[in-house]
Each structure stands twice: as structure tokens, then as C-alpha cells.
Amino acid sequence: METPPPHTEPTEPTDADIAAFKEQLGRPPRGLRAIAHRCPCGLPDVVETAPRLPDGTPFPTLYYLTCPKAASAIGTLEANGVMKEMSERLAADPELAAAYRAAHEDYIARRDEIEVLQGFPSAGGMPDRVKCLHVLVGHSLAAGPGVNPLGDEAIAMLPEWWRKGPCVTPCEPAEA
């Protein structure tokens, strides 16, 4: 990647953000709390979700990657064995394992600020393995560089998914 996407502060979702989310995932958002990161194109690419969905179902994935271009690029990394290589490095590198455990603790602390889900894992395989790069990248984009070392590494391996323009062209939300 030439230039990583800049860190953005979380914002309240607008009607336009919700329309973009629907286009990106093909469904309305569930438990949407905030736009946790914006792609350089301006659209949401990571959302923050509530620890429980509106029906009460626990949903421990706090940061959810929504951009289909980024998700596709991450899927290519996963298919190329990056998760296995990262998990092997975790087992062999105590410094990396400690930094990844700190990322796990950061994730849980951020989720617990909203609602404690006692006994539920963080996400993405943290703290012992790499199970989902999408979650790790979402955490890195939302929290900023330096919080999740493997999410940061995965971002560095990605192409600039936003360079060719927005992933979707959402319809304007209906006037109320």
C-alpha cells in the first residue's frame, strides 16, 4: 500500500451513511452505534455496532468492516495464507503475542464501555490466533495505528481500495 487511509474519529451515522451501509452490505444495519472509520472517499468503511442487537442477541463484534472493496482485498490476503503465517508468528514471537494481547484488551475495554458481554471473546481470534483479518483491519482503522499490530500489518499489505472511487453509489435517503 502506498498510503494508509488516515485515521478518522467516530461520527454519528447520518441518513446518507445508513443508505451507504445498505448498499454496501445489501441489508439495513443492525445495532449501528457510530461510523467508526471513513474511507478516504468519504463513505463509511467500518461501523461500530452495539454489543447486543436490538432483539437482545449478543453481538461481540464491535467493529464491522462494511466496504466491499476493502473486504475483497482482505479476502485475498486470507486466501493467500496470511492468517496462518500470522498465527505461526504469534506462537513464536513473545513481543508480537504481547502486543496482540494488548490489542485484545483494548477491543474488550472499548466494548465494555458500552456493555459488558461477560464470557464473550473479543473478535478475530484475539488474543491467541488470527481467525479473521476483516475484524483486525476494522479494529485498526477504528482505533488508529499502533493499537492492533496484526491489523496494522494487514492494512499495510492491502492495495489502496479507495483509489478508483467509492465502493457504492448509495441512493439519496428519502425525504421524511
- Residue 88 contacts residue 169 (beta carbons within 8 Å): no
CA-based nearest residue to 151, from 83, 60, 62, 79: 83
Is residue 19 included in any domain, yes or no?
Answer: yes
Is residue 30 included in any domain, yes or no?
Answer: yes
Number of domains in the chain: 1
Beta pairing partners, 34: 48
Predicted confidence (pLDDT) at residue 174 exceeds the cutoff of 60:
no
2-56 pLDDT tens trace: 577 888 889 999 999 999 999 999 999 999 999 999 999 999 999 999 999 999 9
Predicted confidence (pLDDT) at residue 155 exceeds the cutoff of 50:
yes
pLDDT of residue 82: 98
Is residue 4 included in any domain, yes or no?
Answer: no
69-94 pLDDT tens trace: 999 999 999 999 999 999 999 999 99
130-141 pLDDT tens trace: 999 999 999 999
Predicted confidence (pLDDT) at residue 175 exceeds the cutoff of 60:
no
Is residue 78 included in any domain, yes or no?
Answer: yes
Is residue 6 included in any domain, yes or no?
Answer: no
Expressed in angstroms, the distance from the first to the final Cα of the chain is: 41
Place 176 in a pLDDT band, splitting at 50, 70 and 90: very low
Is residue 164 included in any domain, yes or no?
Answer: no
Expressed as residue numbers, the domain containing 148 is 15-66+74-157
- CB count within 10 Å of CB 60 equals 17
Is residue 97 included in any domain, yes or no?
Answer: yes
Is residue 1 included in any domain, yes or no?
Answer: no
